[in-house]
Chains A and B, each alone.
Chain A
Amino acid sequence: MAERRRFKKRYCRYCEQKVDFIDYKDLQMLKFSLSERYKIMPRRLTGNCKKHQEMVTAAIKRARQTALIPYIVDRKRVVENPFELIK
């Protein structure tokens, strides 16, 4: 129990903003749930609720398909374009 208290209390940011639907073109919205390497962050780290995590996941996958965000950022591409891709 003592260990548990060290962590900040997590809450769902999307719930806080009362988001009903996440548009895949709205990259600012997706950015929160992406890691530096554009992986989808797990719920245990972001604190997203299940409902919004599912929405975000779907939106991120759509954005990837349309080349709005990359599928992967490997070592080569990290050097080339650090964080400018998401606007």
Chain B
Amino acid sequence: MNCYETLFVVKPTLTGEEIEAQIARVKEIIAEEGGDLKATDDMGMRRLAYPIEKQERGYYTVVYYTAPSELVGELERQLRYNEEILRFMTVKYTNKKELSVFEKMVEAANKKASAPKEEPKAEEPKAEETSAPEASEAQSEAPAAEAAAESTEA
């Protein structure tokens, strides 16, 4: 069993439910193939640094898991076939230093997931603007607002 981290970007054209379905599908694959999901980190909708498949934005998700090495091949194969996924990247954590960092990141992701669980739901309607207590949230909101502004200009 090795420690892995997979980041994938889902197309922004999908609805919130469909995006969730995609994320659930990835988790399913990990569970099916005998992996152990440690944490998921929703980075949310972000502006892409450069357009991919003519998309300017993407929904970023990171999953941390331990798994046998065969799983990664299978997961990447499925991600590659999936047309709703713009990008993915798997990183393996091997030596001691990397593993300690891996555990820290898992903890951080879990904290992030457990603490502001209600806030992302509140964000979805978009009508109510919370005063964004965390810096990370303010950042995630900013590109969405920019993009919205752009679309109105266009």
Contacts and interface: CB of A to CB of B under 8 A. Distances in A.
Contact of A66 (B7, B97, B105): B7
A68 B49 contact: yes
Interface string B26-62: 0000000000000000010011111010000010101
Classify chain B's interface size: 20 to 34
B132 interface: no
Contact of B50 (A21, A24, A70, A87): A70
Contact of A67 (B87, B98, B100): B87
Contact of B49 (A20, A62, A67): A67
Given A20-B101, A25-B62, A84 B9 contact: no
Which of A62, A66, A70 has the largest count of B CB atoms less than 10 A from its CB?
Answer: A66
What DSSP secondary structure best describes chain B's contact surface? strand
Q: Which of B49, B50, B98, B105 is packed against the most chain A CB atoms within 10 Å?
A: B49
Contacts of B60: 66
23 contacts: A20-B97, A20-B98, A20-B100, A20-B101, A21-B97, A21-B98, A24-B91, A25-B7, A25-B43, A64-B49, A65-B89, A66-B9, A66-B60, A67-B9, A67-B49, A67-B50, A67-B52, A67-B87, A68-B49, A69-B49, A70-B50, A84-B146, A87-B139
Interface of A: 20-21, 23-25, 62, 64-71, 84-85, 87
